[in-house]
Every structure is written in C-alpha cells, then in structure tokens.
Amino acid sequence: MTELPARRLLLVHAHPDDESINNGATMARYAAEGARVTLVTCTLGERGEVIPPELGHLAGAALGAHRHRELADAARELGVDDVRLLGGAGRYQDSGMTGLADNDDPGCLWQADVDAAAAHLVEVVREVRPQVLVTYDDHGGYGHPDHIQAHRIAMRAADLAADPAFGPGLGAPWRIARVYWNRVPRDVAEAAFALLEGELPGLPFDKAASVGDVPGVVPAERITTAVDGTAYAAAKAAAMRAHATQIEVAAPYFALSNRLAQPLFTTEYYELVRGEGADGHGSDLFAGLGEAS
C-alpha cells in the first residue's frame, strides 16, 4: 500500500465555493505544510444565483459544469489536488434554498437517503484515512438544506467508516480521530463588521451584511481551535475569485449574489465536537495526534 502523508484532513462541503469561504486559508496552510487535504463536495450547485451578467445564461446542468471548473480552479489556488464529488459528478443535485419546490426534487441532495450517501463518503474515508474531519454543524451553519444534509452525511460516514460490519467491500475500517465544525466567534465577527462599516465607502458594495448572515457564529467560549491562515490570505482570496459565478472579492471583503459586503476571514475557527483533545484552545487541528497511519 502507498505510504500516506503523516497528516490527513478531510473536508465535506455542500457546493463549490463553500470550501474557499469557510476553510480556504486552512486548506492552503495544511497543503503547503505537506498534509494530504481531501475535499468532498456534495453537489455542483446547479441552483446557485449567478453574479456576472455575462454568465447569467448559465443554469441547471450548464451552471453545474461551470461551477465544477471553478471548483478545480479554486483548489489549484489553494494547492489542493484531491477534490471529489460525492458519488461522482451529478450524483446529487443542488436542493435550492429552504422552502422552495426545488427541495422536493427526487434527485437533490435533500431527498437523498443519508446512509446511501454516506456509503460513498465511507469509501473515501477508508481510502485516505483522515485523522481530522471538518464539516458543518447540525444547522448547516445557516440552515441551507444541502448544508444540513452534508452535515448528516459526514457525521454518519464517520460512524460507519469505523464499523467493521459496514461495507466490507469499501475498504478496511477507519476511525477518524477528530471531528470539527466550522465556526466564527461572535466577538470576532462583530469587530470585523464594525471595521467594515468604516471602510464601506471605498468598496464596490453598497451595503454591508450583518453578523447574522455569517454561518456558524457562536460565543467565543465554544471555539476550540483557531487556525491562523494569514500567510495564505492571497491564496484564499484567489480561490474565492475563482468562484466568479458566486462571489465578488474586494479583499479583505467579499459579497455573494446579494451584494452585501462581509469580511473575508483568514484566521478560521473550529469547534471540536468529537475526539481527543477537547480541553483548551489550540491553533492546530492535528495537535497531539501524532502520526497514526
């Protein structure tokens, strides 16, 4: 068997662009430090709103194919070369925003059987054997159906991957040592938005978003790990720019299709929800794990 890198990080996201917004600096840092960084994206974001007028004709499968290319470009900016789509390209489609009829599409991720979808992720887990898994909380960060479902699939796969009785044809069992959820401490978000208000006149955005628009905001005491990615700020911004259909970047700020400015965080925050080392605050997702293979 090919020898694996000492540190292995798996991230599970819902759509292309989520990885760069939430974890771009973290991914770039660990990739540069020699860790194996594996990204699994659950859909192609076929129902995303397109920002540039010249790309406004893209929709459905055509938009998904375009966003797949954007995802590849973003990963290159981050130095990540292991990017996968859950179950293969197009297996699960974007479910649209909460409450829309799109949520009822039998082919969308929201309608997927969680165990069946998790089995695809189990195969990846048993192949790459990550010590660390990063995904969303049980609210998906902000309530999007695909983010909630990505959370469910990731957490279920972490359980099933360690179960010797599950999927004997999917590889040897593997227990993920730590599971983290994406977070932003409320005090950090509030300070960043206060600074944004003063800089808004010089930005290409008319209005600012609010702290409530940022996924995963929690009280600071829930943060267990803060990964300093300031050395990779340019890589994160470039990766976000690669998702041109979805994001407009004016670093250190950006906006989505609503054109509401929000901070581009280069220190990225996590809450350890499962595994070793839950006490205290750290700066390394792998701290103290050793080099188990």
Task: Write out pLDDT tens, residues 128-176.
Answer: 999 999 999 999 999 999 999 999 999 999 999 999 999 999 999 999 9
Task: Specify the pLDDT at position 290.
Answer: 65
Task: Write out pLDDT tens, residues 275-292.
Answer: 976 555 699 999 988 654
- Measured between alpha carbons, how far is 236 from 76 in angstroms, rounded to an integer? 11
Q: Name every residue whose Cβ is closer than 8 Å to that of residue 42 and which is 6 or more positions away in sequence.
A: 12, 13, 14, 15, 85, 86, 92, 109, 117, 146, 149, 150, 153
> What are phi and psi for residue 183, nearest 5 degrees?
-145, 165
Confirm if 146 and 110 have CB atoms less than 8 A apart: yes
Where would I find the H helices in the chain? 18-32, 60-78, 114-128, 145-161, 186-199, 233-242
Tell me the two tokens of residue 156: 């279920």
Give me the mean pLDDT over the 6-18 stretch.
97
Q: Would you tell me how many other CB atoms lie within 10 Å of the CB of residue 186?
A: 16
Q: Would you tell me how many other CB atoms lie within 10 Å of the CB of residue 211?
A: 16
CA-closest candidate to residue 134, choices 283, 289, 272, 275: 272
Give me the mean pLDDT over the 206-233 stretch.
97
18 is in an annotated binding site: yes
- Measured between alpha carbons, how far is 31 from 244 in angstroms, rounded to an integer? 23
Give me the mean pLDDT over the 12-29 stretch.
98
- Measured between alpha carbons, how far is 130 from 267 in angstroms, rounded to an integer? 22
Q: Mean pLDDT in the chain?
A: 95
Tell me the two tokens of residue 60: 């459905």
Give me the mean pLDDT over the 220-229 stretch.
96
- Kindly state the percentage of the chain with pLDDT values over 90: 94
The DSSP call for residue 4 is: P
Confirm if 38 and 128 have CB atoms less than 8 A apart: yes
Query: CA of 214: how far to CAs of 90, 98, 143, in Å?
Result: 28, 17, 11
Give me the mean pLDDT over the 234-255 stretch.
98
Query: CA of 284: how far to CAs of 88, 132, 158, 185, 224, in Å?
Result: 31, 11, 21, 17, 10
Where would I find the H helices in 79-185? 114-128, 145-161
For residue 252, pLDDT over 90 is answered with yes
Task: Specify the pLDDT at position 3.
Answer: 82
Tell me the two tokens of residue 257: 């299709």
- Measured between alpha carbons, how far is 138 from 80 in angstroms, rounded to an integer? 26
Give me the mean pLDDT over the 182-195 stretch.
98
Lowest mean pLDDT among 59-73, 110-124, 274-288: 274-288
- Measured between alpha carbons, how far is 23 from 17 in angstroms, rounded to an integer? 10
For residue 231, pLDDT over 90 is answered with yes
Q: Would you tell me how many other CB atoms lie within 10 Å of the CB of residue 68?
A: 18
For residue 293, pLDDT over 80 is answered with no
- Measured between alpha carbons, how far is 176 from 273 in angstroms, rounded to an integer? 12
Task: Write out pLDDT tens, residues 189-215.
Answer: 999 999 999 999 999 998 999 999 999
- For β-strands 36-41 and 82-85, DSSP reports them as parallel
